[in-house]
Structure 1
Amino acid sequence: MLSVSNLSVQFGKRVLFDEVNTTFTQGNCYGIIGANGAGKSTFLRILSGKIDPTSGHVHLEPGKRMSVLEQNHNLYDESTVLETVLKGNKPLFEVKAEMDALYADYSDENADRIGELQVIFEEMNGWNADSDAASLLSNLGIKEEHHYSLMKDL
């Protein structure tokens, strides 16, 4: 599903890690552990595409997507739990946000753009995103009564 080949990261003369090779397969859970400064967060930023490695490659299987929940847990304090999960799929969330904003200020002028966004949203399975997110939360043991609570209250 996700593979890393010959991944190296170096800052100046300091080598953080060198020629890392691994595969993350579907159905497994993984944890990344290590001492402070060992490169755990850097490795995750590389996997998510936020920063580039010095050398090597990260390959995500075609048709798969990666969602990321930021390490700063206070970042989403004013969002509901369900919305925070939805934000993990950034392209889908951005399409939905633009569509919602256009609906809030509906006019004939923006009707064509709404139509374009609806097609994109449907192709991204957006109409099922809320129920998929709710299912994910429930499977993690977060009861439905908390799905619309603010993250700061959870």
Structure 2
Amino acid sequence: MNADGNGGPLDGAVIAVAGAAGPAGRAALLRLAEAGATVIASDADPARLAEAVDAARYAHGGATVVGDTVDLLDLAATRDWAAKTEKEFGRIDGLVHLVGGWRGSASFTETELKDWDFLEKLLIRTVQHTSLAFHDPLLRAGGRGRYALISQVGAHKPVAGNAAYNAGKA
């Protein structure tokens, strides 16, 4: 039930949110809770995650929103999160991947290799880990399982100073 006592469009759905403590993650938690979903949030920052989970839970009359601190750069930890979520809630209907970060430079040639490495980890490796970890649970959702990856327009219209970021988003 959502805050006004009516079932929402996602009433009963179990949705995991990776990167839940950032601005997009916080917005997703609020919207999913409002729509009636059971929301399982993850982030690497426990304090920011707790704030985001509490805000979503209290904004929607005690909606089921829980948080797990997970290092999505660790495949085993990501698999453990998926397995724990499925065991505890009986299924996983969706995963919303919102992990991100940004690095840029004045020009393409000024982009530092450490920025490419940083963005490869956050924008690519976490997608690999969550898609591998949640693949089978999403398939077991009886045709309802969905994986949503949020990107940005720069992936389609890159500029030289954002080369590493845009490559990771693409």
TM-score after normalising by structure 1: 0.30
> Which structure's CA Rg is the greater one?
1
TM-score after normalising by structure 2: 0.28
